[in-house]
Amino acid sequence: MTCTRKMALHQKISWGAPMGDQLPVQVSITEIKNETPSVKTFFFDREFSFEPGQFVMVWIPGVDEVPMALSSANGITVQNVGDATGALFGCTAGTSLGIRGPFGNGFTRGEKMLAIAGGVGAAPLLPLTRSDCVMTMLLGARTEKELLFVDQLDESTDVIIATDDGTLGQHGFVTDLMKDLSLATYDRIAVCGPEPMMKAVLAKIDSLGFASRTEFSLQRYMKCGVGICGSCCIDPDGLRVCRDGPVFSGDLLKKSEFGHYLRDASGRKKNI
């Protein structure tokens, strides 16, 4: 299997070099798809050139602007968790949004990848599987109805499922599925999900000695998205999730705030 399939139509934008004003781009919502009881996908009338794992800043006019991973070249997949996502859930087809980005890095591609997703964490991993480099995908959710993208993922990779309540697949967590895999088979491992789940995955992977080939997509409160305001910096190295990440290697995260705490909009620490 190879990863040669192009992700998008246009050449990737290099936002480090002068390239004119980077004002938000206006897009219209063309379609809203109910994925699970708490997750919807919003499709736009415009495609963005991106690498799987990159994010955009989504401006909901009059409400706020929030970072969202692209689940396709013209779509974001969103869980309703706060004021901005709540307002987004109230939008209908035809609503205008402003988009800045894509920003940040993406997942490092391999030839034989393992992807591990929890809940809405499957969103940035869907385009990775569509680039034909993911051999196996471990997909976890609280319950069957909250499993995201089962059919789409199944088209391009082997999906193994776990649910917390046992309504589908293995009764338990995605970490339980790892017992039956030979991790050495995979050259890269990509992980995205709730931080406690990712922390458990890192502990397991590190105990087997594969932390350096594993990458995790982090979520932190962001204001600027372009690496200057500092609100998303993680301890102890002061790396910027928006610019140095959001994808970081397991090696780097082992001795960090990852899994322990994060900072809120004011910069105050909150335990995870």
Partner 1 sequence: MVVLRTGPVTVGGVALDNHLILAAGVLGTTGASLSRMLTLGAGGVVTKSIGPQPKDGHAGPCVAVLDNGILNAMGLPNPSREFADELKPLEKKPAIVSIFGGNPGEFAEVAGWFKGKAAGFELNLSCPHAEGYGAAIGVDPALVEACTRAVCALGMPTWVKLTPNVTDIATIGKAAERGGATAIVAINTLKAMRISTGMRRPVLGNRFGGLSGDAIFPVAVRCVYELYEACTIPIIGCGGVSTADSVIEMMMAGARAVEIGSAVQRDIGIFETIKNDLYAKNGTAPEDIVGCAHG
Stretch that binds partner 1, among 48-56, 153-161, 173-181, 238-246 (CB under 8 A): 238-246
The CB-of-194 to partner 1 minimum distance in angstroms stands at 23
The answer to whether residue 241 forms part of the interface with partner 1 (CB under 8 A) is no
> What angle (nearest 5°) sits at the alpha carbon of residue 235, between those of residues 56 and 141?
55
- Per the structure block, which two tokens stand in for 66? 């929030």
Q: Among 14, 180, 236, 271, which residue sits at the site for partner 1 (rule: CB under 8 A)? A: 236
How many residues line the site for partner 1 (CB under 8 A)?
Answer: 46
Which letter, b or e, does each residue of 104-142 get, where b requires 16 or more Cβ atoms within 10 Å of its Cβ?
Answer: bbbbebbeebbbbbbbbbbbbbbbbbbbebbbbbbbbbb
Q: Encode 45-80: b = buried (16+ Cβ within 10 Å), e = exposed.
A: eebbebbbbbbbbbbbeeeebbbbbbbbbbbbbbbb
Contact flag: residue 81 with partner 1 (CB under 8 A): no
Check: CB of residue 195 under 8 Å from CB of residue 119. Answer: no
Q: Kindly tell me which residue out of 47, 64, 164, 187 binds partner 1, with binding defined by CB under 8 A.
A: 64
- Are 226 and 51 in contact by the 8 Å Cβ rule? The answer is no
Choice between 217 and 231, CB closer to partner 1: 231
How distant is the alpha carbon of residue 18 from its chain centre? 28
For partner 1, the closer of residues 24 and 172 by Cβ is 24
Task: Tell me whether strands 25-36 and 96-103 are parallel, antiparallel or unpaired.
Answer: antiparallel
> In the range 38-57, which residues lie near partner 1 by CB under 8 A?
57
Residue from 35, 51, 65, 146 binding partner 1 (CB under 8 A): 65
Q: Are 107 and 128 in contact (CB under 8 A)?
A: yes
Candidates 18, 34, 151, 179: give the one binding partner 1 (CB under 8 A). 18
Place of tokens 């990712």: 198
The reply to whether 16 sits near partner 1 by the rule CB under 8 A is yes
Q: 202-231 mask for partner 1 (x: CB under 8 A)?
A: ---------------------xxxxxxxxx
Chain residues binding partner 1 by CB under 8 A are 15-16, 18-26, 57, 59, 61, 63-66, 96, 98, 100, 223-231, 233-240, 243, 263-269
